[in-house]
Amino acid sequence: MSFKRWVIEEFDRGFINSLADESGIDPFVALLSFSRGYTDPFSIDMFLSKEVPDIDPFVFPDMEKAVERINFALNNNQPITVFGDYDCDGITSTALMFRFLSSLGAKVDYYIPNRNDGYGMNIGAVEKAEKNGTKLIITVDNGITCFDEIKKATEFGIDTIVTDHHLPQDTIPEALAVINPHCDDCPLDFKDFSGVGVAFMLALAVSGLSPEIMLERYGDLVALGTIADVMPLKFENRGIILAGIRKLLSSPNLGIKELLISAGVDIKNINSSSLAFSAAPRINAAGRMGDASRAVELLITDDILKAQRLADELNAENQARQTVEKIIAARAVETVFTQGLENDRVIVVMGEEWKDGVLGIAAGRLAEFFGKPVILLSKEKGGNTAKGSARSVGNFPLFEAISACGDLLVKFGGHNMAAGLTIEEDNLAKFRGAINKFAFTVNYPMAELKIDCKLNPAAVTPDLVWATEPLEPYGAGNPTPLFGLFGMKLIKIFSMGNGKHLRLILSKNNTTVAAVAFNKSAEDFPYKVGATIDLAVNLQMGEYQGEPQLNIIIKDIRISGREDAKILQGLLEYEEFISGKMRVETARSLAFERPQMADIYKAIKSGDNTLLKLIENHLNYSFSQICVIIDAMEELGLLTTEGYMDSKKICICPTDKVNIENSKIYNSLKCLSIEG
């Protein structure tokens, strides 16, 4: 866990009220729509629409050629191979295209690479397709960069139709047809479709049916892949997700249904979050841990016993994935501290034989823990080439940073929040130095928490939550609303779930509310009864003894009066201190004497034994000064520390009195301050 910058949306109440009137919606919905960037009645109406989108698939260039070629294959009984990918988007794309073509009587099979084969098509698979008599290849969720593979297919007399949503390079492959919203000649205004969304467009065009009918058949597959690939849930995607959820509630795909049952999800209450956190990880687990084709088989089978067996298998694989992921994350954190990398702006760490299928998730865990961009790399034992995944925080331009060091990499790709890369081990140190040098040319990479608006606790009622229902489904581009409860007095603290969670009773202006903080123990909780705190919360409706119950879920907490700008300034000052290139003015702001050190020592001894407790309970000290004093006391043998940032734990050591002048830290700060 790391410090986050709270970004609170600013708005004019009069404008929001007039926007609500013009749009014919609740003012609270207008406010939340405004927070998401919809600032006029037309865009709000488009954003909130629950209608099936009016999709014309023939807007895509090359669509007519693709339909004509597929119909030729159907009429002449030509074998078709669907080339997919091993993530949830690629798997749902493959299942959709296979099921659709099978329903038309096509002679169709599919190919899913494993992670060792790499992303997309490969020459070996094309050669195998040729031996099997394939005359038409349809790629789904890949193909836009498969130049050599498509050329080889052409040499074999195999036509290729590419359906993809990844960004093309300067040129596109010489396929029979390329259907990709990001191609320069595609006139669509909204281009953020998933791979399965683009595959659905091809199926829609071939079928000649309406979007409503096709979504009634395949909407759940399209919704699952779109949510799993973190596509923005707006415009056409929003309508697709809503149609997919309706199908799940009425006649779901057998495989998805059994997977949700195996995961313990109540299908009657399915929503976008259920798919994102239950079905999608289990589909992904197939490719992360082994053979992704098992997930395809789950989604295309109509045999209930087979579906139950595969669903249970993927559920077990997901549990194994979680275990492996935690082990890798723990080893990576240990390596960071062992190698002294924790103060880098971009953390780059390499291990040996870490399972590449979970590196991205583990990198995300570390990015959350350190509050910085993290790149995790793994190499085979005895090898010299490492592959890895990167995850960013805040608005740090991760892909731009990696691109700036591209000459040190074998290959790379991705975007500013997530990326993949391959590097020779000999270049690792140079790459780490180069990307951190780049990081100093942009703003400090600090995680952000965007709060939609502040709430008066008296307004926190079930009616408020029900009023927000028009905004669902939530996901990328439309996050679950996050609200701020500011200046709340902490009345009581209760442990829940065998001490793993906390329930807080809070009060303000004669209104009392209860809120839950998951994964917070009473031992590490920095706030005492009587403290005045700010909370960032989600509001959810649940049920208790058959009655509706409002749940307030805490996402972050800070002491009232803490200024994020000062925390950021403290991070920069402490970073400067660690670097050994400290300016005189920084040394003066960090300098301390025995009384300050004694004050912090007494606070630790009395129970403020984490960095977060010290920061939150001693606002008269700056973040950087507390960090430096702790470092000095550790240098003198007065204490030991474990962990990082706000999770850093401090333990007092039994020792005799010490002389502060024996501290190199104390002396260097004092000398530099005087010299200046």
Exposure string for 43-82, b = 16+ CB within 10 A, e = fewer? bbeebbeeebbebebeebbbbebbbebbeebbeeebbbbb
Alpha-carbon gap, residue 205 to 62, rounded angstroms = 11
User: Do residues 181 and 115 share a domain?
Assistant: yes
Helix (H), strand (E) at residue 413: strand 411-414
User: Do residues 257 and 380 share a domain?
Assistant: no
12 Cβ neighbours under 8 A, 6+ residues apart: none
**pLDDT tens-digit series, residues 294-345:** 999 999 999 999 999 999 999 999 999 999 999 999 999 999 999 999 999 9
SS3 at position 56: coil
Provide φ and ψ at 623, rounded to 5°. -55, -50
Is a pLDDT exceeding 50 seen at residue 454? Answer: yes
The answer to whether residues 242 and 95 touch, using CB atoms and an 8 Å cutoff, is no
SS3 at position 34: helix
DSSP 138-162: EEES--TT-HHHHHHHHHTT-EEEE
User: Do residues 554 and 569 share a domain?
Assistant: no
Strand partners, 352: 379
Task: Work out the mean pLDDT of the chain and round it to a whole number.
Answer: 92
Alpha-carbon gap, residue 620 to 251, rounded angstroms = 61
User: Do residues 99 and 70 share a domain?
Assistant: yes
User: Do residues 68 and 126 share a domain?
Assistant: yes
In a domain, 34, yes or no: no
Alpha-carbon gap, residue 149 to 442, rounded angstroms = 39
In a domain, 48, yes or no: no
The answer to whether residues 195 and 220 touch, using CB atoms and an 8 Å cutoff, is no
Q: What is the mean pLDDT of residues 652-656?
A: 87
Strands 177-179 and 159-163: parallel
pLDDT of residue 1: 45
Is a pLDDT exceeding 70 seen at residue 2? Answer: no
DSSP 483-548: EEEEEEEEEEEEEETTTTEEEEEEEETTEEEEEEETT--TTT--PPTT-EEEEEEEEEEEEETTEE
User: Do residues 370 and 349 share a domain?
Assistant: yes
Per the model's pLDDT, the better-predicted residue between 117 and 516 turns out to be 516
Per the model's pLDDT, the better-predicted residue between 656 and 596 turns out to be 596
**Cβ neighbours of 447 (radius 10 Å):** 19
The answer to whether residues 527 and 616 touch, using CB atoms and an 8 Å cutoff, is yes
pLDDT of residue 498: 87
DSSP 606-652: TT--BHHHHHHH-TTS-HHHHHHHHHHHHHTTSEEEES-GGG-EEEE
pLDDT of residue 451: 95
User: Do residues 645 and 538 share a domain?
Assistant: no
CA of 414: how far to CAs of 10, 114, 401, 645, in Å? 32, 19, 11, 29
Q: Which domain holds residue 531?
A: 5-11+450-559
Provide φ and ψ at 508, rounded to 5°. -160, 135
Residue where one domain finishes, among candidates 391, 406, 441: 441
CA of 461: how far to CAs of 139, 473, 536, in Å? 49, 20, 16
Alpha-carbon gap, residue 619 to 575, rounded angstroms = 20
Is a pLDDT exceeding 90 seen at residue 650? Answer: yes
Burial (CB count within 10 angstroms: exposed 0-12, middle 13-18, buried 19+), residue 487: middle
Q: What is the distance of C-alpha 84 from the center of its chain?
A: 23
Closest C-alpha to 231, from 287, 181, 185: 181
CATH number of the domain bearing residue 129: 3.90.1640.30
Alpha-carbon gap, residue 647 to 146, rounded angstroms = 45
245 Cβ neighbours under 8 A, 6+ residues apart: 220, 223, 270, 271, 272, 473
- The tokens describing 262, both together, are 């195996």
In a domain, 19, yes or no: no
In a domain, 113, yes or no: yes
User: Do residues 222 and 368 share a domain?
Assistant: no
Q: Taken in order 28, 34, 35, 37, is the CA torsion positive or negative? A: positive
Closest C-alpha to 19, from 2, 38, 41, 1: 41
Per the listing, tokens 């660690």 go with: 578
Domain count for the chain, please give it: 4
Is a pLDDT exceeding 80 seen at residue 647? Answer: no
Strand partners, 233: none
**What type of residue is 293?**
S
Is a pLDDT exceeding 80 seen at residue 120? Answer: no
User: Do residues 175 and 273 share a domain?
Assistant: yes
In a domain, 224, yes or no: yes
Helix (H), strand (E) at residue 398: helix 398-404
**pLDDT tens-digit series, residues 193-209:** 999 999 999 999 999 99
Strand segments (E) across 200-291: none
pLDDT of residue 675: 64
- Half-sphere exposure of 148 toward its Cβ, with a 13 Å CA cutoff? 7
pLDDT of residue 624: 93
Q: What is the mean pLDDT of residues 230-247?
A: 92
CATH number of the domain bearing residue 542: 2.40.50.460
**What type of residue is 416?**
N
Residue where one domain finishes, among candidates 422, 441, 460: 441
The answer to whether residues 218 and 201 touch, using CB atoms and an 8 Å cutoff, is no
Alpha-carbon gap, residue 159 to 401, rounded angstroms = 38
Q: What is the distance of C-alpha 37 from the center of its chain?
A: 21
User: Do residues 102 and 241 share a domain?
Assistant: yes
Burial (CB count within 10 angstroms: exposed 0-12, middle 13-18, buried 19+), residue 477: middle
Read off the pLDDT band of 114 (50, 70, 90). confident
**pLDDT tens-digit series, residues 499-524:** 899 999 999 999 999 999 998 888 88
User: Do residues 407 and 267 share a domain?
Assistant: no
The answer to whether residues 202 and 57 touch, using CB atoms and an 8 Å cutoff, is yes
The 108-111 sheet, strands edge to edge: 108-111, 80-83, 136-140, 159-163, 177-179
Is a pLDDT exceeding 80 seen at residue 544? Answer: no
Q: What is the mean pLDDT of residues 552-577?
A: 91
Is a pLDDT exceeding 60 seen at residue 676? Answer: no
Q: How many residues does the chain have?
A: 676
CA of 644: how far to CAs of 243, 348, 349, 371, 433, in Å? 45, 16, 16, 10, 22
Residue where one domain finishes, among candidates 559, 584, 610: 559
CATH number of the domain bearing residue 592: 1.10.10
Between 28-32, 74-78, 167-171, the lowest mean confidence (pLDDT) is in 167-171
Alpha-carbon gap, residue 340 to 322, rounded angstroms = 27
Q: What is the mean pLDDT of residues 85-92?
A: 93
**pLDDT tens-digit series, residues 593-604:** 999 999 999 999
pLDDT of residue 44: 93
Is a pLDDT exceeding 50 seen at residue 488? Answer: yes
- The tokens describing 367, both together, are 């990015």
In a domain, 28, yes or no: no
Alpha-carbon gap, residue 502 to 572, rounded angstroms = 32
**pLDDT tens-digit series, residues 380-432:** 887 899 999 999 998 899 989 999 999 999 988 777 788 889 999 999 999 99
User: Do residues 377 and 308 share a domain?
Assistant: no
In a domain, 289, yes or no: yes
Alpha-carbon gap, residue 650 to 608, rounded angstroms = 9
Is a pLDDT exceeding 80 seen at residue 379? Answer: yes
* Phi-psi domain of 12 (left: phi exceeds 0; alpha: psi -120 through 50; beta: other): beta
In a domain, 29, yes or no: no
CATH number of the domain bearing residue 433: 3.10.310.30
Q: What is the mean pLDDT of residues 486-505?
A: 94
pLDDT of residue 644: 82
pLDDT of residue 118: 65
